[in-house]
Structure 1
C-alpha cells in the first residue's frame, strides 16, 4: 500500500512513520509512507495557502489551488510509474482514495479501517484554520472522515490515527496476524481480558479456564468475557453484533443476576 499525506507540518509525521509498527511495515516493504507540504503548490510568491472567507466571518479558509495542485502532482507521479511498469497494479486499482480529515466527516471505525486496508493507494488531506474551500469537498475527495466529536488544531493527529489503524490490518505488518482478528471492534465487540505469567500475583489468580489447556473452554470463556465487557462498557455495540440465541440468553441471565 502507498499512503501520501498532504500537510503543512510534515515534521509531525517523522517519529510516527519511522517508529514501532509503521516503521517495521516500511522496512518490510508492505507500506510506503510519505508526506507532501501543500504550501509548495500555493502558486504565489508569498506561499499563502489560506484566505479570508467570502461573506465575512472569523478565521481563515484553506484555498483550493494548493490542495488540488498537490493531489494532481501525486497522481502524475503515479501515472508515470504505471507507464514504466513500477507499480504492478491492475487497471481497477489505479484510482486512490482521497480522504479529507474533518470533524464533519463520517465517524471512523474498525469497519472503515478494514475497507481502506483493501486499497492500494490512500491520500490524506490534513487541514488547518477555519476550514476548507468547499470545492475541495465537491470535486476532489472521495471520503471525509472524523475521529470523534471534538475539534483539534489540524488534521495531522486524526490522519495518524487512521493510518495506524489501517496499516496494522495489512498482511504481514503485525508479528501475528491473529492479533488484528481478535482486537476490540474487529467482530463488533470489545476484546476479552488478557493474562500472562505468573498464574498468581499478589493473591490475584488467572481464571481457571485459561489454565485448563482445554481449547474449547478457552474459546467459550473468551467469547463470554467479550460479551460481558461489551455489555458493561459499550452496550450500544450489542445492537449490531451477531449473537447466537444461546449468547443472547446468557447475556440476559447476566443482566438479571446484576439486577438481583
Structure 2
C-alpha cells in the first residue's frame, strides 16, 4: 500500500513513522508512506498556503491552489483522497479495515480554520474525524488513521489473532488481561485464567466484555447482532 500525507508540518511524523510496528512495516516494504510538505506546491516566493476567509471571521484558511496542485500531482487511478477534519464522519475499526484494502491513499491535513470548501467539493473523496474535539492541525489525525489501518494489512502484525479479540472488533470493549506473576501485592489473577480450560476462559472473557461495554459504552450494545 502507498500512502501520501500532505501537511505543513512533516517533521511531526518523523519519529512516529520510523518506530515500532509502522517502522518495521516500512522496512519490510509492506507500507510505502511519503510525507509531503504542502508548501512545496505554493508558487509565490513566500510559499504562501493560507489567506483570510471571504466574509470575515477568525483565523486563516488554507488556499485552493497548493492543495489542488499537490493532490493532482500525487493521485493515481483509483486512489482514495481523504481530508482529516473534526466535522467529518467518525473513524471506526470498520473504516480502518476498509481503508487497509486500498492500493493508494492521500491524506490531506488541514490547519488554521481548515481548507477552502472548493478543495473539499472537487478533489476529496471522503472526510474523516477521529473524535469530537479540535487539534491544531490534521497531521496527528492522519497518524492515528494510518496506525489503525496498518494493523489490518497482512504481515504488519506479529500476532494476527489479536485482530479478532481486541476492543471494537465485535462492537465490544476488550476483556481484562493479566500476565505473571499470578499474585502481586495481594492482587490475584482470576482463577479461571489459571486452569487451562479454554472454553471456560472464552466464556469468562466474553462476559467481562459485555459487562465492561454495558458500563462504559452501552451504545455499542445496540450494534450487537
What band does the TM-score fall into relative to the shorter chain? over 0.9
Cα distance per residue 1:49-70 (max 9 Å; x no partner):
1111112222111111101111
For structure 1, the 5+ residue unaligned runs are: 79-93, 243-260
- Tell me what 1:257 maps to: none
Deviation at 1:201, TM superposition (A): 1.6
Deviation at 1:157, TM superposition (A): 0.9
The one of 205, 208, 212 equivalent to 1:229 is: 212
Distance 1:168 1:71 in 2: 26
Deviation at 1:20, TM superposition (A): 0.8
The one of 74, 77, 100 equivalent to 1:117 is: 100
Distance 2:58 2:186 in 1: 60
Q: Secondary structure at the match of 2:172?
A: coil
Q: Secondary structure at the match of 1:131?
A: coil
State the structure with more CA Rg.
Answer: 1
For structure 2, the 5+ residue unaligned runs are: none
Q: What is the aligned-residue RMSD (CA, Å)?
A: 1.1
Matches for 1:205-244 after TM superposition, within 5 Å = 205-242=188-225
Matches for 1:197-212 after TM superposition, within 5 Å = 197-212=180-195
- Tell me what 2:52 maps to: 52
- Tell me what 1:43 maps to: 43
Deviation at 1:34, TM superposition (A): 1.0
Matched, 1:134 2:117: yes
Q: Secondary structure at the match of 1:118?
A: coil
Normalised by the length of structure 1, the TM-score is 0.84
Matched, 1:168 2:151: yes
- Tell me what 1:191 maps to: 174
Number of residues paired by the alignment?
A: 225
Normalised by the length of structure 2, the TM-score is 0.96
- Tell me what 1:32 maps to: 32
Q: Secondary structure at the match of 2:88?
A: strand
